[in-house]
A and B are shown apart, each in its own frame.
Chain A
Amino acid sequence: MFDGPEPIYIQIADQIRAQILSGDLPEEAQVMSTTQYATTFRINPATAAKAFGLLVDEGLIEKRRGLGMFVAAGAHERLLKEHREAYLEQVFRPAVDQADLLGIPRSTLVAYLTDHLPATSLSAAEGEAR
């Protein structure tokens, strides 16, 4: 756990963001305490506190006096929006660039998307609602 190249507190913050994004940590849910984080992952409590500070500054979690840390209202939506924007620039565009490089026509990409990766009824409905 937390063996990546970034400082541990950044990795902890990333992990909590990913849990909010996936819905494992729903809005209003309580986040593990500094103490629980420290003892579960055998890290200095100040390291965990630093990660929480980062997420509080971003407005993703909030401290409720005497109760602990909770996922803020709207945190899931905000992360979704940010990740959608990043997805197009960081994932989709490089994939298309690579296709261009390989001489795969755009029409092939579109056909692949509609024929081989058809949207599930759920994601299609979500797409229309948007």
Chain B
Amino acid sequence: MTTPYGAELSDVTVRYGRGRDAALDGASFTVRPGTITGLLGRNGAGKSTALALLASFRRPTSGTVRVDGADPFENAAVMAGVQLVRESGDVVGDSPVNDTIGYYSGVRPLWDADYAKALLDQFGIDPRKTPDALSRGKQSALGCIIGLASRAPLTIFDESYLGMDAPSRYAFYDALLEDYTQHPRTIIVSSHLIDEVERLFEDVIVLHRGRTVVSETADALRDRAVSLVGPTSAVSKLADGRHTLATRSLGGTTQLTLEGALDPEDVARARDAGVEVGRVSVQDLFIHLTQEPETLKEDAR
């Protein structure tokens, strides 16, 4: 078994052309070896660019990229251990699925052919068909199968399962967790379906406009805010002097999202006042953290 790869971006900027906004603008984050790390960001936040750097598909304009402690670019040893699955699939579209499978079995030293075959069966993909002839859902599933069966010390799923329907996505999450516990490795998952995947994450990275706004454990991220629901007067009293991220009022009841955690005395005080203290989902935190000024104004209205 190979040791899972860690990965790191330090002050990385990527520009695709003069005069264009940087895709990454001084981004820094660390992916701890052996974790399932979620990479979140709105469209255009720089996620795919960051992942392409880790997979040595391109070089940064400035800054440092490290995978397993080395610069991955044109580094054959590191590249063999990194599998990036993009939504496009990276398959040979017009020849049988078997050819694509054969290609990956040749370039991924830890490829498990029996596992790949079992997954093809499970997801109902006929390996004699060409990827072009498969439905969008099955094309996505094929990408996921390549990612799983490669057993790469760094495996990256970049919106890989967008085309899959809900039952297939859940079958993929189950397969991912099961195989990850049997064969520990580093897995990065980039997704817009945050509610579905947030519990899979040990760590979370959030990119916004090419910069890193979060790089920490999922538990630490969830501790960044707390939700209060209860009688408006009691809720406002508890919120006094704290930074409010969001407010929703319905008659005499108010739901507030507050920055920071509540200490046990505040929690007890809240319960006595009939205020329910709850956690804030990663999805909601993500929305707060990546809100644009215009959206904020809209919310205040």
Residues of A within 8 A of B (CB): 5-9, 34-35, 38-39, 41-47
A-B contact count (CB 8 A): 43
Q: How far is the CA of A46 from the CA of B180 in the complex (A)?
A: 11
* Contact in complex: B202, A46 (CB < 8 Å): yes
B207 is an interface residue with CB less than 8 A from chain A? no
B56 is an interface residue with CB less than 8 A from chain A? no
* Contact in complex: B180, A47 (CB < 8 Å): no
* Contact in complex: B181, A42 (CB < 8 Å): no
Given A5-B277, A42-B173, A47:B199 Cβ within 8 A: yes
Pull 6 A–B residue pairs with CB atoms less than 8 Å apart, ordered by A. Answer: A5-B278, A5-B279, A7-B222, A42-B173, A45-B181, A47-B202
Residues of B within 8 A of A (CB): 35-36, 170, 173-174, 177-178, 180-182, 199-202, 218-219, 222, 276-279
Residues of B within 8 A of A35 (CB): 178, 181-182
* Contact in complex: B174, A39 (CB < 8 Å): yes
Q: How far is the CA of A38 from the CA of B179 in the complex (A)?
A: 11
Max chain A CB contacts within 10 Å: which of B35, B173, B177? B177
* Contact in complex: A44, B178 (CB < 8 Å): no
Max chain B CB contacts within 10 Å: which of A6, A8, A9? A8
* Contact in complex: A8, B199 (CB < 8 Å): yes
Residues of A within 8 A of B201 (CB): 44
Q: How far is the CA of A35 from the CA of B279 in the complex (A)?
A: 25
* Contact in complex: B174, A42 (CB < 8 Å): yes
Given A7-B222, A44-B36, A39:B181 Cβ within 8 A: yes
Partner of B199 from A5, A6, A42 at Cβ < 8 Å: A42
Given A5-B277, A7-B219, A7-B222, A43:B200 Cβ within 8 A: yes
Residues of B within 8 A of A34 (CB): 181
Q: How far is the CA of A44 from the CA of B219 in the complex (A)?
A: 11
Q: Which A residue's beta carbon lies closest to that of B280?
A: A5
Q: How far is the CA of A44 from the CA of B180 in the complex (A)?
A: 10
Q: How far is the CA of A8 from the CA of B223 in the complex (A)?
A: 12
3 cross-chain pairs, A with B, having the tightest CB-CB distances, nearest first: A35-B181, A5-B278, A43-B199
Q: Which A residue's beta carbon lies closest to that of B35?
A: A46
* Contact in complex: A38, B222 (CB < 8 Å): no
Q: How far is the CA of A6 from the CA of B264 in the complex (A)?
A: 12
Residues of A within 8 A of B36 (CB): 44
* Contact in complex: B278, A44 (CB < 8 Å): no
Least CB distance, A120 to chain B, in whole angstroms: 33
Q: How far is the CA of A47 from the CA of B180 in the complex (A)?
A: 14
* Contact in complex: A44, B182 (CB < 8 Å): no
Q: How far is the CA of A9 from the CA of B279 in the complex (A)?
A: 14
Q: Which A residue's beta carbon lies closest to that of B227?
A: A5
Q: Which B residue's beta carbon lies closest to that of A9?
A: B219
Least CB distance, B189 to chain A, in whole angstroms: 11
* Contact in complex: B200, A44 (CB < 8 Å): yes
Residues of A within 8 A of B278 (CB): 5
Least CB distance, B214 to chain A, in whole angstroms: 17
Partner of A45 from B180, B219, B276 at Cβ < 8 Å: B180
Q: Which A residue's beta carbon lies closest to that of B199?
A: A43
Residues of A within 8 A of B199 (CB): 8, 41-44, 47
Partner of B177 from A5, A8, A9, A39 at Cβ < 8 Å: A39
Least CB distance, B142 to chain A, in whole angstroms: 22
Residues of A within 8 A of B180 (CB): 45
With A35-B182, A42-B174, A45-B181 already in contact, 20 other A-B pairs whose C-beta atoms are closer than 8 Å:
A5-B276, A6-B279, A7-B279, A35-B181, A38-B177, A39-B177, A39-B178, A39-B181, A42-B173, A42-B177, A42-B200, A43-B199, A44-B199, A44-B200, A44-B201, A44-B202, A45-B177, A45-B180, A47-B199, A47-B202
Q: Which A residue's beta carbon lies closest to that of B182?
A: A35
Residues of B within 8 A of A46 (CB): 35, 202
